Amino acid sequence: MSDKFISIEGIAKRYPGAAGATTTVFENLWLSMARGEFCCVIGHSGCGKTTVLNILAGLDAPTEGAVIVDGQAISGTSLDRAVIFQSHALLPWRTVLGNVAYAVSSKWRSWDRAKVKAHAQTFIDLVGLTGSEHKRPSELSGGMKQRVGIARALSITPKMMLMDEPFSALDALTRGTLQDEVRRICLETGQTAFMITHDVDEAIYLADKIFLMTNGPGAVLAEVVENPLPRDRGRTDLHRHPLYYALRNHIIDFLVTRSKTFAAETPDHDPRNVPVVRIGKPGLSIASSGEEQRQTWTPGTNPGLTA
């Protein structure tokens, strides 16, 4: 299928436990993402979100299964898949420019210093850090550090961005600004993005698709929720959208109750055909992930999950 840019096919992660037993964090996990799609994963701690991201990044290997990116099974890390780390992970002995230039010179090893510097500078300007190039990470605020992390990830012009709760350590105001910028940059550059978050509003604002995972161990991907909000959504009037609260309530209901009980209540859950939830469609539609159709909304229709 042409729109399966990234396809996670039946991966599992098991750790050897005490007395020969094995702990299965998750198994038989299938999910796919189209090119240019922004996907968020929501689930409680311990459901293996970070492990999935690390496997996508190539930092970790699945115990079973495979990940296919752009038609090729991945083995190890790649410069096509940039990671924005939760703890920003800047090298503290390098300046802002040095950190970005390190990534640039890792990708284009034959470039001379001036070219590397100029390229790094464009991405520092892009995230709005012009003037702070020669500061060290210790002189920056948390938000600025994360901007450097974003500039570093973007500077290698990756095919996809992997973000592990990139804004969770920031204050609400900075988080909002950075969400705007990440959204703008991803739309402008057509990035495929995979992001872990605990923040339901963040997921609603940023994502095209939201993956809901049940509690671990033995976590499964329960639902794929399609975001009914238009692509050119704005932060200020997001909550006025007629489907906003239906979407939000659906996700929160899942996190509060269904993430615990999902496995017991849905014994016939098929991990290969995870139900796609389209909020606001007359009669809750549960379609298999194979037949994808975008739901369009019209103002004035009855908001809410009509289930």
Partner 1 sequence: MTSSLRFRAGLVSIVLLAAFLGIWHLATRSTAPVATMSPEYAKLMGLTATQGKSAMPGPLDVGAKLWEHLKRPFYDNGPNDKGLGIQLAYSIARVGTGYLLAVLVAIPLGFLIGMSPLLSKALDPFIQVLKPISPLAWMPLALYTIKDSSVSAIFVIFICSIWPMLLNTVFGVASVRKEWINVARTLEVGTIRRAFTVILPAAAPTILTGMRISIGIAWLVIVAAEMLVGGTGIGYFVWNEWNNLSITNVIIAILLIGIVGMLLDQILARFTRMVTFPE
Regarding 85 and contact with partner 1 (CB under 8 A), the answer is yes
Residues 6+ apart with CB under 8 A from 120: 97, 100, 101, 103, 104, 151, 155
Q: Give 87 or 257: the residue with its C-beta nearer to partner 1.
A: 87
Smallest gap, in angstroms, from Cβ of residue 90 to partner 1?
Answer: 8
Which span (4-12, 42-50, 89-97, 282-290) binds partner 1, by CB under 8 A? 89-97
Query: Is 15 in a helix, a strand, or coil?
Result: strand
Q: How many residues bind partner 1 (CB under 8 A)?
A: 23
Shortest Å, Cβ 94 to partner 1: 8
SS3 279: coil
3-state helix, strand, coil in the chain (%, to 5): 35, 20, 45
Query: Does 106 engage in binding with partner 1 (CB under 8 A)?
Result: yes
Distance CA 261, CA 153 (A): 38
The least CB distance from residue 196 to partner 1, in Å, is 15
Residue 1: C-alpha distances to residues 8, 219, 272 (Å): 13, 27, 15
The amino acid sitting at 125 is D
78 binds partner 1 (CB under 8 A): yes
Q: Which of residues 267-306 bind partner 1 (CB under 8 A)?
A: none
Q: Using CB under 8 A, which of the segments 82-90, 215-223, 238-246, 274-282 binds partner 1?
A: 82-90
Q: How far is the CB of 203 from partner 1 (least distance, A)?
A: 24
Shortest CB 83 distance to partner 1, Å: 5
Element (H, E) at 123: helix 113-126
Name the nearest CA neighbour of 163 among 39, 252, 293.
39
Does residue number 81 form part of the binding site for partner 1 (CB under 8 A)? yes
Long-range CB contact pairs, 65-68, < 8 A, 24+: 65/8, 65/9, 65/10, 65/11, 65/12, 65/28, 65/29, 66/9, 66/10, 66/11, 67/6, 67/7, 67/8, 67/9, 67/11, 68/4, 68/6, 68/7, 68/8, 68/9
Stretch that binds partner 1, among 136-144, 173-181, 182-190, 225-233 (CB under 8 A): 136-144
- Contact between 141 and partner 1 per CB under 8 A: no
Site string for partner 1, 149-188 (x = CB under 8 A): -------x--------------------------------
Span near partner 1 by CB under 8 A; candidates 66-74, 91-99, 110-118, 201-209: 91-99
- 194: amino acid identity, one letter: F
Residue 200 interacts with partner 1 (CB under 8 A)? Answer: no
Residue closer to partner 1 by CB (options 91, 286) is 91
234 touches partner 1 (CB under 8 A) = no
Helix (H, G, I), strand (E, B), or coil: what is residue 209?
strand
Given the rule CB under 8 A, which residues bind partner 1? Answer: 57-59, 77-79, 81-83, 85, 87, 89, 91-93, 102-103, 106-107, 136-138, 156
